[in-house]
A and B are shown apart, each in its own frame.
Chain A
Amino acid sequence: MGKKIEIHDFEPKIMAFVCKWCTYSGADLAGTSRMDYSPNVRMIRLPCSGRIDPQFMIKAFEQGADGVFISGCHPGDCHYNEGNYYARRRNTTFRQLMDFHGIDIERIEFSWISAAEAIKWTEVIDAFTEKVRELGRHPQYDDEVVDPYAQFLVQNKQESA
C-alpha cells in the first residue's frame, strides 16, 4: 500500500465499454481483492456487450480517447444467451471498417473477462495502457488525419480527368 503511481510524460485516456454481468463484476472483484491496475481507464457499464454500438467507440475517439476497450462474458456465458456473439461479430466487422478509414485498430482492444477473472482484468488493462502509451496520442480532428479512402477518391478523380 501507499505505492506511488509513476506518471509518464504521456498518459493515454482509455474508455472501456463493459457488460455489467461479467466484466464490470470482474473489475469490482479486482477492487474487492485490492489489486492494482493502471488508473487510465474509465468504464461505461452496459447491460450486455451486445449493447455496445460501434458509434460509441467513434464518439469516444472523438472525445479524445486514445484507446477503446471492449469486454463481455466469455462465449457461451452470456447472461442473455447470445449478446456477446453479436458483440464479437460487430467488433470484427467494425475493426476492418476502422482500418479502412485509417484509424489505428491497435487502439481497439477486445477481450472476454468473466466475473471471476479480476487478475485477467488487471493484466489486460495494464498491457493495453502500456500499448496505447507507446502508440502515443490519438490524432484528433484538428490534426491532419489522412483517410485513404478519401485519398483514393481524389486520385481516381484526377486520373479520370
Chain B
Amino acid sequence: MAKIGVFVCQCGNNIARTVDTAEVAKYCSEQDGVVHVEDYKFMCSAPGQEMFKKAIKEKGLDACIVSACSPKMHEATFRNAAEAAGLNPFKVEIANIREQCSWVHDDKEVGTVKSKDLTKMMIERIKFNKPLERYVMPLTKRALVVGGGIAGIQAALDLAQAGVDVHIVEREPSLGGNMARLSETFPTLDCSQCIMTPRMVEVQNHPLITVHAYAELEQLSGFIGNFRARIRQKAKFVIDDLCTGCGECWEKCPFSTESEFEMGLVKRPIIYIPFPQAVPTVPVIDKTECPKILKDKCGLCADVCGPDCIDFTQQDEIKEIDFGAIIVATGFQLMPNVYREYGGWRPPHMTPKKLTAKMRKALPRSDAGRLVDVINGLEFERLASASGPTGGQIRRPSDGKIPEVVVFIACVGSRDCNKGVEYCSKICCMYTAKHTMLYQHAVHHGKSYVFYMDIRAGGKGYEEFINRAQDEGAQYIRGRVSRLTKKGEKILVKGADTLTGQAVDVEADMVVLATAMVPQGDSEQVAQTLGIGYDKHGFFSEQHPKLMPVESSTGGIFLAGACQSVKDIPETVAQASATAAKVLALFSKDEMMRDPEVAIVDQEKCMNCWDCVTVCPYLAIDRVELKDRNGNFRKWAAYVNPGLCQGCGICNTACRSKSIELMGYTNEQVYAQITAFGGDII
C-alpha cells in the first residue's frame, strides 16, 4: 500500500482566499493510501520545505503531492527537496490549485471543490509513478564546425582558446567564405581581408584546430555528446604534407576556367588556390576540368613541382571522427542572379540549381541576360577589392571602361514573395550605401543613384553611415525600377520616384543589384544530413526564436551565422561566440545527465510494426535484434535511444501493442488520473 503525503499550500492568501485549504487537506486525508497531510502557509519557503523533508523521513512516505502553484514554478524545488530527503524525485507531483483554480475562480465553494478534485486526480496518478533515475551519458569533448567562413572561424577560435579540440570542415579549398570576397566592410570601411586573414592564419596555426579543407560532411550519426561524423576529404591530387605552396604549378597551368571566388569575373587555372591569401595554401586540381585526369594529356604541374607532391591517382578519403557537439556555420549565397537566366554571359557556378518559377520572375523584368554590366553585390565587391580582378579599379565587365553613372537597385528579390522572397534581406541597405561610397572614392567624377524601397539601418553607426553616403554624393531615389533595357553602350534604367510621383529614366554605365541573401543551395540537404529543422526558405530553424536562438532543434547541434537567418558580420560573430559558449557549457562536465522522462520499450511485447520508428521526430528509435542465450537471433524489437529521446510521447500513442511507455506519462498514470475524475464538478 502506498504511503502518500499531501501538502496543501495556502500561498499566503493567494490560494487560501478562494480555496478552503483545511477542507482540501481533510478530504485528502480520507483518500486511499494517504497517510500524511499538511496545510501550510508557504510550502516553498525554507520552513515549508523543512517540514516537507521531515515528513518524508519520519513517516517514510513513498510519494508526495504538493497542492500549490503551477509545476512550472516549484516542481523542481520540491523534487530537489525530496531527493535531499531520500525520496526519488519523480515520486513528487504538483497539483496546480493556484494558477488553474484559486486565481481564476472567485467563489470559495467552487474553488474548494475543484481543488479537491485536482488533488485527488494527482493522488490516483502518483500511485503509478515509478521511481526514475537520471541517465548518465558519456561525452566526447571534441567539436565539429561545419563551414569555414567568419562564423566557423570565430566559433573554432573561441573553442580552441578555451582548450577544446576543434575540427573545421570546409568544402572550398580555402577558409574564408563569403567574407573573404568583400572589399571593405560597413560601417567603418575597414578592409575585409585585413581583419579576416590574420584569423585564418591563427586557425591554421592553432595546435587544437584541425582544418579539413576541400572536404564535406557526408553523414552524421549518434546524438548529443556522442556524434560520429563521416567526412569525405575530396581528392586534391596534391599531397598536403609535401606541398610548400610555392605557386609554380598554378602559374604554369596552361588551362583555365571561371573563378568561383571572383564570381566568374576572371579565369583561374585548373590547379588553383581560390585567392592569394588562401588558408591552407595548398592548391587543388579541379578534376572536372583537368585534361590530365580527363584525357591523360598535359601533366605540366607535376613536371614543375619541386617537392614532387602532385599525385594524379589520389582518391577521395573517408574519415570517421567522434564529436560531442556540432556547430553549423554554412553561410549564405546571393539569390542566383535572375538577370543571367536568359543566356548570354553567365559563369557556370552561378547557374541556379533550383530556380523556382518565383525566382524566375524576380524583379525587374528585362531583356537583360545580355546586359553584362548588370552585376550583383558580391561581383561589385570583387571589382572594388584591391586584390580583385581589376586591382581595385572599378571597371565594368563588358568593355573594361570606368563607369561614369552607376545605378544601384535595392531589394532585388527580397521583400516581395511574388518576385523572390518575402523577408527583408537586412544587409542590403548598408552594403548598397557602402558600394556608393566605394564607387565615389574610386571614381570622383562619377554619379551614383540608389533606387530604394525603405532604408533600414538599425545598427550601431548604421544610420550615420547612410547619411555619410548621401553626403558623399549618392542620390537616393525612393521607388522601384520597372525595366532595364540596352541603349547603345549604356543601360536604360526605367524607374519611378514615388516621393515626387514622377517617372525617372537614368542612362547608366553599370547597374548593381542588391540581391537578396538566401541560404546555400543545398541547405535542405545539409539539414537532412544533420537531422535539424529548416524553414520554408531553407534557413536552419532555431529551437526558440527568442530564448534559444543558437540551438538547433536537435540537442548538441548549434547554429552560427547566416545559415540561420540573414545577418551582418557583427551579428554573425556574436552568434558564433554564443555557440562556442553553449558548447563549452556542454563540455564543462565529464558526463552528461539526461532527464529520465523518455520512452522505454517492452521488447518482449513489441510486434515490429515500426510505427514508432516512423513517427519519432528525433530518429531516436532503432530496430534491434534480440538474441537468446546462445547468441542466436530470436526476434526483432524497437529500442529507444535515451540520449536522443526528447520525451514527446508520440511513439507511446502510436504503439499498437502498447509496448512503448513514456516514463512519467505512462498510460497507467493518465488512466488513473481520468478515473479519479467524475466527482462533483462544482
Give A residues with C-beta under 8 Å from B: 1-5, 7, 11-13, 15, 25, 27-28, 30-32, 34-37, 39-40, 42-48, 50-53, 56, 59-60, 63-65, 79-83, 86, 90, 122
A28-B100 in contact (CB<8A): yes
Q: Can you show 7 pairs from A to B with CB atoms below 8 A apart?
A: A2-B106, A28-B100, A42-B117, A51-B662, A63-B678, A64-B678, A86-B650
Q: Return chain A residues, CB-CB under 8 Å to B72.
A: 25, 28
Q: Return chain A residues, CB-CB under 8 Å to B553.
A: 81
Most chain B CB within a 10 A radius of its CB, from A12, A31, A40, A122? A31
Q: Which residue of A lies closest to B669 (CB)?
A: A44
Q: Which of A31, A37, A83 is B648 in contact with, Cβ under 8 Å?
A: A83
Q: Which of B71, B533, B671, B675 is A45 in contact with, Cβ under 8 Å?
A: B71
Interface residue total, chain B, C-beta cutoff 8 A:
45
- In the complex, A44 Cα to B114 Cα: how many Å? 14
A86-B653 in contact (CB<8A): yes
Q: Which A-B residue pairs are the 8 nearest by beta carbons?
A: A31-B99, A51-B649, A80-B648, A50-B650, A31-B103, A5-B107, A28-B99, A48-B648
A42-B650 in contact (CB<8A): no
- In the complex, A80 Cα to B70 Cα: how many Å? 22
Q: Which of B106, B121, B662, B675 is A47 in contact with, Cβ under 8 Å?
A: B662
Most chain A CB within a 10 A radius of its CB, from B98, B110, B662, B674? B674
Q: Which residue of A lies closest to B105 (CB)?
A: A39
Q: Return chain B residues, CB-CB under 8 Å to A59.
A: 671, 674-675
Give B residues with C-beta under 8 Å from A: 70-72, 96, 98-101, 103-107, 110-111, 114, 117-118, 121, 533, 553, 597, 615, 617-618, 646-650, 652-654, 662, 665, 667, 670-671, 673-675, 677-678, 681-682
B100-A13 in contact (CB<8A): no
- In the complex, A40 Cα to B677 Cα: how many Å? 12
- In the complex, A119 Cα to B216 Cα: how many Å? 50
A5-B110 in contact (CB<8A): yes
- In the complex, A83 Cα to B652 Cα: how many Å? 12
Q: Return chain B residues, CB-CB under 8 Å to A40.
A: 681-682
Q: Which of B98, B104, B648, B673 is A51 in contact with, Cβ under 8 Å?
A: B648
Q: Which of A3, A12, A25, A48 is B106 in contact with, Cβ under 8 Å?
A: A3
Q: Return chain A residues, CB-CB under 8 Å to B110.
A: 5, 39
Known contacts A44-B670, A48-B650, A51-B652; is A83 also within 8 Å of B682 by CB?
Answer: no
A51-B653 in contact (CB<8A): yes
B103-A44 in contact (CB<8A): no
Q: Which residue of B lies closest to A65 (CB)?
A: B677
- In the complex, A27 Cα to B652 Cα: how many Å? 25
Q: Return chain A residues, CB-CB under 8 Å to B670.
A: 44, 46, 53, 56
A48-B649 in contact (CB<8A): yes
Q: Which of A25, A63, A81 is B675 in contact with, Cβ under 8 Å?
A: A63
- In the complex, A27 Cα to B105 Cα: how many Å? 13
Q: Which of A31, A47, A52, A83 is B70 in contact with, Cβ under 8 Å?
A: A31
- In the complex, A8 Cα to B634 Cα: how many Å? 62
Q: Return chain A residues, CB-CB under 8 Å to B96.
A: 28, 43
Closest chain-B Cβ to A83's Cβ sits at a distance in Å of 5
- In the complex, A45 Cα to B617 Cα: how many Å? 21
- In the complex, A51 Cα to B615 Cα: how many Å? 12
Q: Which of A4, A50, A122 is B649 in contact with, Cβ under 8 Å?
A: A50
B677-A13 in contact (CB<8A): yes
Most chain A CB within a 10 A radius of its CB, from B106, B118, B533? B106
A15-B674 in contact (CB<8A): yes
Closest chain-B Cβ to A110's Cβ sits at a distance in Å of 15
Closest chain-B Cβ to A40's Cβ sits at a distance in Å of 5
Closest chain-B Cβ to A142's Cβ sits at a distance in Å of 14
Known contacts A5-B682, A50-B650; is A60 also within 8 Å of B674 by CB?
Answer: yes
Q: Return chain B residues, CB-CB under 8 Å to A5.
A: 105-107, 110, 682
Q: Which residue of A lies closest to B597 (CB)?
A: A47
Most chain B CB within a 10 A radius of its CB, from A51, A60, A63? A51
- In the complex, A52 Cα to B667 Cα: how many Å? 10
- In the complex, A4 Cα to B110 Cα: how many Å? 9
- In the complex, A5 Cα to B18 Cα: how many Å? 12
Q: Return chain A residues, CB-CB under 8 Å to B653.
A: 50-53, 86, 90
Q: Return chain A residues, CB-CB under 8 Å to B678.
A: 13, 63-65
Q: Return chain A residues, CB-CB under 8 Å to B533.
A: 81
Q: Return chain A residues, CB-CB under 8 Å to B117.
A: 42
Q: Which of A30, A37, A47 is B665 in contact with, Cβ under 8 Å?
A: A47
Most chain A CB within a 10 A radius of its CB, from B117, B653, B662? B653
Known contacts A13-B677, A32-B99, A47-B662; is A80 also within 8 Å of B106 by CB?
Answer: no
Closest chain-A Cβ to B557's Cβ sits at a distance in Å of 14
A50-B648 in contact (CB<8A): yes
Q: Which residue of B lies closest to A29 (CB)?
A: B99
B682-A39 in contact (CB<8A): yes
Q: Which residue of A lies closest to B72 (CB)?
A: A28
B104-A30 in contact (CB<8A): yes
Known contacts A30-B104, A63-B675; is A86 also within 8 Å of B681 by CB?
Answer: no
B100-A43 in contact (CB<8A): yes
Q: Return chain B residues, CB-CB under 8 Å to A39.
A: 101, 104-105, 107, 110-111, 114, 681-682
Known contacts A12-B681, A51-B652; is A32 also within 8 Å of B103 by CB?
Answer: yes
Q: Return chain A residues, CB-CB under 8 Å to B675.
A: 59, 63
A82-B617 in contact (CB<8A): yes
Q: Which residue of B lies closest to A125 (CB)?
A: B104
Q: Return chain B residues, CB-CB under 8 Å to A27.
A: 99-100
B674-A46 in contact (CB<8A): no
Closest chain-A Cβ to B13's Cβ sits at a distance in Å of 12
Q: Return chain B residues, CB-CB under 8 Å to A32.
A: 99, 103
Q: Which residue of B lies closest to A14 (CB)?
A: B681
Closest chain-A Cβ to B17's Cβ sits at a distance in Å of 9
B646-A80 in contact (CB<8A): yes
Closest chain-B Cβ to A65's Cβ sits at a distance in Å of 7
Closest chain-A Cβ to B578's Cβ sits at a distance in Å of 21
Q: Return chain B residues, CB-CB under 8 Å to A15.
A: 674, 677
